Amino acid sequence: MTADMRMQDFISEFTSKLAPLAREAAHARWQHQTEGGEVAEKRAAECGARVAELFADPAKYAELRAIDASELTDPYLARQHKILSLRFLTGQLDPETIKKMSAMTAELSGAYNSFRANLAGELVTDNQLDHVLLHSSESDYRKQAWEASKLVGAENASRILQLVKLRNREAHRMGFRDYYEMSLTTQEIDESYLFSILHDLEEETRPLWNRFRLTLDEKIASQFNSTTDQIRPWHHSNRFFQTVGSSEESEDDLFKSINVEEVTRRYFQQIGLPVDDLLSHSDLYERPGKCQHAFCMNMDREGDVRVLCNLQPCKRWMTTNLHEYGHAVYEKYVDQSLPYLQRTCSHTMTTESIALMMGRLTDDVRWLIEFTDANPSDALEIASRSRKAQLEHQLVFMHWCFVMVNFEKELYANPDQDLNTLWWDLVEKYQLVIRPEGRNAPDWAAKIHVASSPVYYHNYLLGDMMTSQLMDTIENEALKLIDKADRIRTHAFGTFLKDEVFAPGASVNWQEWLQLCTGRSLSPTAYVREIEVMEHL
C-alpha cells in the first residue's frame, strides 16, 4: 500500500470520529457562551475534553508518524498530514490533565462572562464601563470605573496561574522549553521570526509613536485641566488603552439611528457574499449571563457559521460586527469540496486579516454615505477624521500587542516572578502609560485572552499587517482598473476575496497563502507606510 493510500485511509477513519465530536463540542461551547450557567459550563468542558482525547491517543499518533510525509505525492494529503501532526503534538498530554485543563478553561470563561463590575454600588456591564471612559469628564468617577474593571483579574489570577503551570508542565514533558514555545510551534510560527518582525515594526514606528503620544497626552491634559505627568490609565478612553476613543460625537451620531445587523446584511449582499443564513443563526444582543465580548464560530465546517456580539447603535459595535462577519464569510466561502481538515481558514492570522479589513469599512467615505445617515457634503470631512482615528487606532493597538505578546512570553518563561510589576513595566515601556502610584494588583489577569486564548495576540498584529499587504495588492494590482473609491463595495471585490483569498482554505499554510494572495512574503512595509499617512490627514 502506498503512503498516499495509507494516509487517505487514516484521514477517512479519523475524521469520521472527529467531525461529530467537534460539532457537539462547538454547540456545547456556543450554549455556554450564550446562556452561561454551571450545567452548560460542565457540558462544554466535557465535550472539549472528548475532542482533545482523540488527539491524545498515542497509538493513533504513532500510526500517523509511521506514514512518511516525504513519500506523499498528493499535496492535499501532505498538508493534512502536517495539520494532523501538529494537532496530535499538542494532544500528547496526560488524559486526566486534558480533562482538568478543559474544565479549568471553561470555568474561567464562565467567570469572565458572568462578571459584572461594581461601580458606585451598581453592577454594570463592560459596555457601561466603556461608556464611562469614553464620555465622563469626572476624573474620580473614571478612576472608579477603571479600578472596578480590573477586579475580574483579582478574582481569577490564581486560577490562571494554576492553568499556566499546568500547560507548562505538559509542554516540558513533551520536550519544549515552555508552553509558549510549544504553542508557536503548533501555529507554524518561528519564535525568532516573530520577535524579529515585531522588533523591526517597533523600531520603524517609534518616532511616530513618540510624537503621537506627546500630542495625545497634551490633549488629555487639557481635557482634564491637568499636566501630562498627572495622566493615569483611567484618563484614556479604553480600559487597556488598546484603542483610542473618538473625540467627535458626530462619528457616533452617524450610527445612532441605524440597524447594525441590517447594515451588515446589506453590505455583504452588495459585494456578492450574502450572510442572511449566518445572521439567522447568530446571537447579537445583550442579555444577563451571556458572554460580553464578540467572536465567530464555525460549528461544523458544513456551513453553520455563527457570530456572537452585544450590539449597540454606535461605531464601535458596527465595526465589531463587520469584523466578526469578516471571519464568518471567510469560513462560509472556503471551497466546500475540500476535505474536512482543510475546510477552514488557512491560519488564525489569515482570518484576522479579513476581519480587520472589514472592520475598517466604517472609515470609508463612500461606505459612510451609503450605509449611514451621513450628509454627502459632510462625509468627506467625517471620513478623513475617521480614517485618521483608524490609523491612530492601528498605532495604539500595535503597542498594546507589544505588551501582550511580551508579557505572555515572560509569563510562561517564569510564572512565579512578580507578574504585577512585569505587566506595568511593559505597559510603561511600550504604551508609555504611567502606572498608578502604589498599585500592586494582577491587572494582567483582567484580560480574558490570558486565560482562554493563550499565545494568541500576535495573530491580531500579524493579521493587521496582512490586511495592509492585501489591500495594497487589491489597490495596485488585482482591482487597479476599478475606481479606488468604489472597490470595496463591488462584486469584483467580493469575487476576489471568495476565489483568491477564501477558497484555498487550509490547503496551504499561511506563508503560502499570503504568497498566493499578494505575491510576496509578510513584510511590515505596507503597514508602516499606511500608518505614516495619519500625520498628513
Q: What is the pLDDT of residues 250-291, one digit of tens each?
A: 567 788 889 999 999 999 999 999 999 999 999 999 998 899
CB atoms within 10 A of CB 485: 11
State pLDDT tens for residues 431-466.
999 999 999 999 999 998 998 889 999 998 999 999
Q: CA nearest 506: which of 339, 305, 354?
A: 339
Residue 300 main-chain phi, psi, to 5 deg: -150, 0
User: 335 burial class (0-12, 13-18, 19+ CB within 10 angstroms)?
Assistant: middle
Percent of the chain clearing pLDDT 90 (strictly above)? 75
Q: CA nearest 178: which of 388, 414, 405, 383?
A: 414
pTM for the predicted model, two decimal places: 0.83
CB atoms within 10 A of CB 411: 24
DSSP of 289-333, one letter per residue?
Answer: TS-SS-EEEESSSSS-EEEE----SSHHHHHHHHHHHHHHHHHHT
pLDDT of residue 485: 67
Q: CA nearest 355: which of 265, 281, 294, 276?
A: 294
Q: Stretch 163-174: mean pLDDT, rounded? A: 93
Q: How confident is the model at residue 374 (pLDDT cuts 50, 70, 90)?
A: confident
The answer to whether the beta carbons of residues 198 and 461 sit under 8 Å apart is yes
Quickly list H helices, 474-508. Answer: 491-496
Q: CA nearest 348: which of 447, 243, 462, 242?
A: 462
CATH of domain 192-536: 1.10.1370.30
Percent of the chain clearing pLDDT 70 (strictly above)? 98
Residue 203 grid coordinates: 523600531
pLDDT of residue 250: 54
The answer to whether the beta carbons of residues 155 and 111 sit under 8 Å apart is yes
Chain region(s) in the chain for CATH 1.10.1370.30: 192-536
Q: What is the sign, positive or negative, of the torsion defined by CA atoms of 134, 138, 140, 145?
A: negative
What span, in angstroms and rounded, lies between the C-alpha atoms of 239 and 134?
A: 10
Q: Stretch 111-120: mean pLDDT, rounded? A: 89
Q: Which residue has better confidence, 417 or 384? A: 417
Tell whether the model's pLDDT for residue 344 goes beyond 90.
yes
CA angle 283-447-172, nearest 5°?
A: 110
Q: Which residues, in sequence order, are bridge partners of residue 298? A: 305
Q: How confident is the model at residue 247 (pLDDT cuts 50, 70, 90)?
A: very low
Q: Stretch 367-383: mean pLDDT, rounded? A: 80
Quickly list H helices, 36-54. Answer: 38-54
What span, in angstroms and rounded, lies between the C-alpha atoms of 487 and 480?
A: 9
Tell whether the model's pLDDT for residue 153 goes beyond 70.
yes
Please tell me the total number of residues recorded for the chain in this structure. Answer: 537
State pLDDT tens for residues 483-526.
776 788 899 999 999 999 999 999 999 999 999 999 999 999 99
Under DSSP, the state recorded for 187 is T
Residue 297 main-chain phi, psi, to 5 deg: -130, 130
What span, in angstroms and rounded, lies between the C-alpha atoms of 135 and 175?
A: 50
What span, in angstroms and rounded, lies between the C-alpha atoms of 108 and 163?
A: 10
Q: How confident is the model at residue 382 (pLDDT cuts 50, 70, 90)?
A: confident
Tell whether the model's pLDDT for residue 113 goes beyond 90.
no
Tell whether the model's pLDDT for residue 399 goes beyond 90.
yes
* Distance set, CA 495 to CA 38, 136, 303, 304, 333 (Å): 44, 44, 19, 21, 10
Position 136, amino acid? S
Mean pLDDT, the chain, rounded, equals 92
Tell whether the model's pLDDT for residue 249 goes beyond 70.
no
Residue 319 grid coordinates: 465595526
Residue 17 grid coordinates: 470520529
